[in-house]
Amino acid sequence: MFIVRQTTKITAMSPYDPSAYPPFAVTVDLVVLTVRRHALCALVVRRGEAPFQGRWALPGGFVKGDEDLGAAAARELAEETGLCAHDPASPAANGAHLEQLATYGAPERDPRMRVVSVAHLALAPDLPAPRAGGDANSARWAPVDALLDHDGGFGRDGEQPAPLAFDHARILGDGVERARSKIEYSSLATAFCPAEFTVGELRRVYEAVWGVALDPRNFHRKVTGTPGFLVPSGGTTTRQGGRPAQLFRAGGATVLNPPMLRPEV
């Protein structure tokens, strides 16, 4: 395998001749979000090599030569978390939502060479403990607020996290914003919940992702009134504190009508 880095300008390149092209590496990076202890958390891995050695980064890796982008993202997700991604809403046991987020390809985003990264967004329930190829403490869930507010408000704590490697802070920010807006008009918030969940658990997901407090009574009336959002799970009770709550599963609807509106008006 011989690859010589393209450094000089290509002058005789036909606009549609792919046999003469600047070489790129293509990777997938993952923004894996979950809700833990009432906070929105992202999966980060510690880098073992330069550049950014020792810093936290989003999990990711190279796309293989015969692999689709979504397949590469699903493979990385399985390698890092054991989660099995499912797009077309199959009620698999350990399934997480996975979708393409955006692509980042600034020329200097990786100081070693030209890397274009197709970022994906995954939403997962709390259950799985992170594992990175057997290395336990090189992967962890970190609250997104701490990861993104690295230049404010953490000086006194000593637990001030370093900024994420590469442009991963921007990617994470874009992923979080996508999740925040998408649970408004889609049923994606159920991807943060286990297969069966209560209305209160779903409400705590919305509160954690949006960072607001919601009225439990209005929330209950709203989600149970939106057709196709929730279906009663037959099973009826569980304990979270007070009166037993009804258990639900995600309904078939993917788009919510009417949408769940984020307060802030």
198 binds DNA (CB under 7 A): yes
Contact residues for its own copies, defined by CB under 8 A: 1-4, 6-10, 13-26, 47-49, 61-69, 100, 102-107, 110, 112-116, 118, 257, 265
Half-sphere exposure in the Cβ direction for 43 (13 Å, CA): 30
**C-alpha span between 130 and 136 (Å, rounded):** 8
Provide the minimum distance between the beta carbon of 253 and DNA in the complex, in angstroms, as a whole number: 14
Local structure of 185: helix, strand or coil: helix
How near is the Cβ of 224 to its own copies at its closest, in Å?
19
Minimal distance, residue 29 CB to its own copies, in Å: 12
Do residues 87 and 99 lie in contact, with contact meaning Cβ atoms separated by under 8 Å? yes
Helix or strand holding residue 177 (H, E): helix 168-185
Q: Binding of DNA at residue 242 (CB under 7 A)?
A: yes
**Alpha carbon distance 220, 222 (integer Å):** 5
Q: Single out the residue of 53, 160, 240, 254 in contact with DNA (rule: CB under 7 A).
A: 240
Answer yes or no: are the C-beta atoms of 120 and 30 closer than 8 Å.
yes
**Minimal distance, residue 66 CB to its own copies, in Å:** 5
Taking the least distance from each CB to its own copies, the nearer of 11 and 137 is 11
- Give the Cα separation of 167 and 25 in Å (integer): 16
Residue 224 lies near DNA (rule: CB under 7 A):
yes
Q: Kindly state the smallest distance separating residue 123's Cβ from its own copies, in Å.
A: 18
Torsion of Cα atoms, 35 then 71 then 109 then 39, to 10°: 0
| Helices 199-210, 216-225: crossing angle, 10 deg rounding | 110
Pick what 88 binds: its own copies, DNA, none; C-beta below 5 to 8 Å, kind-dependent: none
In the list DNA, its own copies, none, the entry touching 26 (Cβ below 5 to 8 angstroms by class) is its own copies
- Please tell me whether residue 246 binds DNA under the rule CB under 7 A: yes
Report if residue 107 touches DNA, rule: CB under 7 A.
Answer: no
Among 5, 7, 217, 234, binds DNA (CB under 7 A): 217
Residue 246 binds which entry of DNA, its own copies, none, with Cβ cut-offs from 5 to 8 Å by kind?
DNA
Amino acid sitting at position 131: R
How many angstroms separate the CA atoms of 136 and 139, rounded? 7
Helix or strand holding residue 165 (H, E): none
User: What is the binding site for DNA (CB under 7 A)?
Assistant: 198-201, 215-218, 220-222, 224, 237, 239-246, 258-259, 261, 263, 265
